[in-house]
Amino acid sequence: MTVPGDSRLVDAVRGLTAHAAGYALLGDSAREGLAGQVAAATQAAMAAAPGASAPIDIRFTGDDEALTVVISCEAGASVPRPASTSAGNVTVEWATEGARHVCHIRHRVSA
């Protein structure tokens, strides 16, 4: 999905992430943690994109191993931080791919 770079939509992205995490059968704590990571990455993408209304692309995918969220925006002058983190079952990796900043957030699903 594509959303305008309007910070008022971050809560909607957070809610959608929590809903997707529910389908992945993540517990309440994991669901909220993932939603918080995705919301923070969405805010970082909005801040890094050129112009306040630059579109932000968000894609959710999942399988038996993980729920993955990919957030991307047109590369502006700033680079989102942190570059990458890993805590528990969640990894967050930022990269610049061509003309886009891309964040891969992956939550491993317990078997």
Residue 56 structure tokens: 């932000």
Mean pLDDT of the chain: 88
**Beta-bridge partner residues of 83:** none
Task: Give the pTM.
Answer: 0.89
Assigned CATH for 2-108? 3.30.565
How many Cβ atoms are within 10 Å of 65's Cβ, its own excluded?
10
**Contact in structure between 40 and 50 (CB atoms under 8 Å):** no
Q: Is the pLDDT of residue 111 over 60?
A: no
Provide the residue ranges of all domains of the chain, joining segments of one domain with +: 2-108
- What is the DSSP annotation of 55-86? -EEEEEEE-SSEEEEEEEEE--SS--S-SEEE
Contact 67, 60 (CB under 8 A): yes
The tens digit of pLDDT for each residue in 90-107 reads 999 999 888 899 999 999
Angle at 92 between CA 97 and CA 85, to 5 degrees: 115
Q: Where are the alpha helices (DSSP H) in the chain?
A: 10-23, 28-48
